[in-house]
Structure 1
Amino acid sequence: MDHGCQVRKRDVVVNVAGGAPAGASVRVVQLDSAFPIGSCINGTVIQDPAFVDFFTNHMDWAVFENELKWYWTEAQRGQLNYADADRLLDFCDRAGKPVRGHCIFWAVDGDVQQWIKDIAAYDRDQLMAAVQARLNGLLGRYAGRFPHYDVNNEMLHGRFFRDRLGDDVAALMFREAARLDPGAALFVNDYNVECGNDPSATPERYVELIRYLQWRGAQVGGVGLQGHVTHPVGEIICDALDALSAATDLPIWFTELDVGEPDDALRADDLEAVMREAYAHPAVQGVVLWGFMQGYMWRQDAALVNSDGTVNDAGQRFIDLRREWTSDARGRLDADGQFKFRGFHGNYVAQVTMPTGTKMLKAFTVDKGDTPLVLDMDN
């Protein structure tokens, strides 16, 4: 049994009242999924037609690889560059893809730009002013544009701002982000939490961090697992998901998933194992790949699409999974004027065609629920 089919499906009854003739044909098409899958993009890849084609056809969300990071938007103090982020946002708007905001701050010393390190070395007040200016500048500019933000990336592995401004600065970042963009879900985001081999990044440490942030008034809206996986071990990933969801009751996203394996066929199997673990777990609400095309990825041996645009074994497995997790039902009304099917959560359109050729069309949403969803075509 695929547990994802249990967790993410619901019974639906298409109903035509008033003695609709039995035998009228029904066609139900799922337009999108309530379980989004996306990819990171950057200014270079959106120039490649093969990348754009695969992204447009097979991805629901995007995240910018670097273009929203502070070191990119303000490499030199006071010289702001939002042009690259704006260009990517325009691309996503045209493609109809929501975007995760990655990231407002980065907690790891090596990923903090030099001018920030310089002022941090001699003036705590200037550093705090720079933090506040970053929050005001980024979230003031883009309020309402990013449904998610990774607020202070990789806090299990870095303490740059906390070491210089005190432990509460991390919660302050969340509090201010919530004030400036109340509609955005604010995430913690870190790596190795799901793999069971990093003592700095156990699920227990992650839960402890989240609880501390919440105690200090942070509106933590989601838990990000990066998922840069080499040897996916299903039970370890599942155990981590169980521990996080039980302790926090927060939505979990795989925010930067890639599966490194030189052999395409094995990579396909590994990718499928991780994707099925994510899909089957009720706390997981989405998966974002950290790229998918050879030559444009942070990790080698993780591509789904070769540099010439051909889809490899892993990419075909990915497409097959997406197809498997999409409902497409057809049949005929029974004597009671009903057609029943079990569909994945998401947005749909239903069409009933009478023997006379008359058509009834209705859009609807299948959301979570223990009882069947009844779709009255007449109303």
Structure 2
Amino acid sequence: MASTHQDNVVFEVNAIGWAPSGTGTALSLHHEDPARLPTAAVGHGHRPSGRYVVAAGRADEEDGLCQVITPGALKPRVTYRVAGWISVASGEVAEEDGKQQRGHPIRVSIRVDDGSCVVDGGAVCPQPGRWAEIKGAFRLRENPRSAAVHVHGPPAGVDVKVMDLRIIATDRKARFRHLKDKTDKVRKRDVVLKLGGAPGASVRVVQLDNGFPLGSCINGEVIQNPAFVDFFTNHLDWAVFENELKWYWTEAQRGQLNYADADRLLDFCDRTGKPARGHCIFWAVDGDVQQWIKDIGGDRDQLMAAVQQRIRGLLGRYAGRFPHYDVNNEMLHGRFFRDRLGDDVAALMFREAAQLDPGAALFVNDYNVECGNDPNATPDKYIDLIRGLQRGGAQVGGIGLQGHVTNPVGVVICDALDKLSATDLPVWITELDVGEPDEALRADDLEVVLREAYAHPAVQGVVLWGFMQGHMWRQDAALVNADGTVNDAGQRFIELRREWTSDARGRLDGDGQFKFRGFHGTYVAQVTTAAGKMLKAFTVDKGDAPLVLDMMDI
């Protein structure tokens, strides 16, 4: 598999060429024991050299290593991938609140025009003495007069180790060719329609729905907007409520319940025939917990009673209405309930929800897992969280990747999905918005994420976090302008939906068969013979063997 060629490497260094950053920093060159080299390859086929440099004597978090990038090597509007291996020296593990930390965040920054602009190039949090693969991305808006790579981040005194750092210009065309081949294997199946005794009869096959749902968040305001409703009903399959099901909305004041807003959105979904995800039962981040919950947070019994009442009230009311629930949102970034009620409360939330609504798939949901720049939200940490919930009896039914994306890089997203697929749980991108002020680049970025998701067998759906200008959390991510016109990103979205819809026509062969390869989903076939027309509805599900259908079996 090759989506990036060696010719696209614009910066590559094994060890020689680094300079110290910081007045006290000293660099030294080393060779790693071959038995301790990381086994994963950066990118495609690139193996670690074993030569690395250590930055010691760092007096500040900004101290570390730096190296100038050849002038003119970085171009504006090009997305670059950052790849390499990073570590900290073993034995340098800090103590925090009596617990041993697993490691320190190390960041790669691109400092442009003598440091007047600092661009994030990715971050990792390696365990001391072990190598971690850096997987970041960035893009420049203008031609830089100068640029340099900096590696920094840990506290003063922590030695930083860097091996084989590279910056690679992405090759979208090559990547997309690979993804189209992958999509054909993952999302399509051979179909044989049989009608004996009518060779040469005309056949028309039309796909009605795709087996891979695409959706959007909605709220009480946007469902009153005709342009929003038109795009939503014509181009999207699922919904999720932006705020109206969250606890701070349904019970802003203790004991004063408001389900009317959620009920109105459910009625809208029923009228338009769109299933809705349940987002969310709880939210783990302190800043998103309503004040009255914080006020009782010091009383364990009161808080536990409130948690139990929330689960019973919400799921008792809506059992069977939401196919999915995000149970305790953003646990990689928040611990409000676990800090006050113990780590076991997270699994308890899942267990109680499963009892009240056994038909719902119960999801974890978090952000930055797919982007490679948040040491708190790596795929490995997400898997650890899921395994811990499962050990506590939680019936985790799915993995939510929020997908609030900037500068997406396909192989980085794919790598995260590959790791998460080891859980054998379905993955949904639950809150996708791709932020980019330039509409043409936004369309390109959106296509990257959607193609990566659609081509990956672990992913079962994508939900946008809105799509209309003026009605979104991130205003530079719209697909539809405020006046209802569809912009470049929206047109790209529609084109992809069209590309992923099968439409076949032809004639029965001499054996009375018509063969085609179609995307998973629901279909209707029409066969026209001298005796008249014959219709058959059918569904193409996943499967390696051809799906054989007898048109006479109606």
What interval of TM-score do these two structures reach, taking the shorter chain for normalisation? over 0.9
**1:182 maps to which residue?**
358
2:528 maps to: 353
> 2: distance between equivalents of 1:190 and 1:117?
22
Equivalent position SS for 1:128: helix
- Whether 2:197 is the aligned partner of 1:23: answer no
Give the distance between the partners of 2:506 and 2:251, measured in 1 at CA: 57
Q: Deviations over 1:66-117 (max 9, x none)?
A: 0000000000101100000000000000000000000000000000001111
Q: Which residue of 2 aligns with 1:12?
A: 191
The aligned residue for residue 148 of structure 1 is 324
The answer as to 2:518 corresponding to 1:339 is no
C-alpha displacement of 1:6: 1.8
SS at match of 1:222: strand
Q: 2:256 aligns with which of 79, 95, 99?
A: 79
Deviating 4+ runs (over 6 angstroms): none
* 1:362 corresponds to: 536
Deviation of 1:350 (Å): 1.1
Partner of 2:489 in structure 1?
Answer: 314
- The 5 Å alignment of 1:57-136 reads 57-121=234-298, 123-136=299-312
- Name the aligned partner's letter for residue 287 of structure 1: V
**2:107 is matched with which residue?**
none
Instruction: Decide which of 317, 339, 342 is 1:163's aligned counterpart.
Output: 339
1:5, distance to aligned residue in structure 2 (A): 2.1
Partner of 1:372: 546
Q: Aligned residue for 1:38?
A: 215
Q: Indicate yes or no: 2:393 matched with 1:214.
A: no
C-alpha distance in structure 2 between counterparts of 1:57 and 1:23, whole Å: 35
Cross-structure match for 1:297: 472
1:242 and 2:242 correspond? no
Q: What SS does the corresponding residue of 2:215 show, helix, strand or coil?
A: strand
**Structure 1 CA distance, aligned partners of 2:439 and 2:446?**
10
Aligned to 2:65: none
Of structures 1 and 2, the one scoring higher in RCO (CA 8 A, sep 6+) is 1
TM-score (norm 1): 0.98
Residue 24 of structure 2 corresponds to which residue in structure 1? none
TM-score for the superposition, normalised by structure 2: 0.67
Name stretches of at least 5 consecutive residues in structure 1 with no aligned partner: none
Distance 1:267 1:240 in 2: 22
2: distance between equivalents of 1:268 and 1:332? 38
Question: Which residue number in structure 1 is paired with residue 51 of structure 2?
Answer: none
Deviation digits for residues 35-81 of structure 1 (CA, Å, limit 9, x no counterpart): 00000000000000000000000000000000000000000101100
Identity fraction in percent: 85
Aligned equivalents of 2:370, 2:287: Cα separation in 1: 23
Corresponding residue SS for 2:477: coil
CA distance in structure 1 between the aligned counterparts of 2:206 and 2:276, rounded to whole angstroms: 25
Alignment of 1:212-291 (within 5 A): 212-246=388-422, 248-291=423-466
Aligned-CA RMSD value = 0.7
Determine which of 354, 367, 374 is the counterpart of 1:191. 367
Superimposed CA distance per residue, residues 154-183 of structure 1 (whole angstroms, 9 cap, x where no aligned partner): 000000000000000000000000000000
The structure with the largest strand share of the pair is 2
For residues 285 and 97 of structure 1, the distance between their equivalents in structure 2, rounded to whole angstroms, comes to 16
Residue 31 (structure 1) shift: 1.1
Distance in 2 between the 1:79 and 1:233 partners?
45
Aligned partner of residue 359 in structure 2, secondary structure: coil
CA apart distance, 1:194: 0.3
Question: What amino acid does structure 2 have at the position aligned with 1:368?
Answer: K
**CA–CA distance in structure 2, aligned partners of residues 359 and 137 of structure 1:** 53
Q: Distance in 2 between matches of 1:177 and 1:112?
A: 19
CA distance in 2 between partners of 1:5 and 1:37 (Å): 18
Higher relative helix content: 1
Aligned residues: 374
Q: Alignment partner of 1:301: what SS?
A: helix
Instruction: Report Cα offsets for 1:336-368 as digits up to 9, x if no partner.
Output: 111000000011111111133x11111111001
Structure 2 unaligned blocks of 5 or more: 1-176
The CA deviation string for residues 254-285 of structure 1, in whole angstroms up to 9 with x for no partner, is: 00001001111111111001100001100000
Answer with 27-36 or 40-49: which moved more: 27-36
CA distance in 1, matches of 2:479, 2:297: 42
How far did 1:153 drift? 0.1
Alignment of 1:43-62 (within 5 A): 43-62=220-239
Larger Rg: 2
The alignment partner of 1:364 has SS state of strand
- Quote the Cα distance in structure 2 between the aligned partners of 1:140 and 1:359: 49
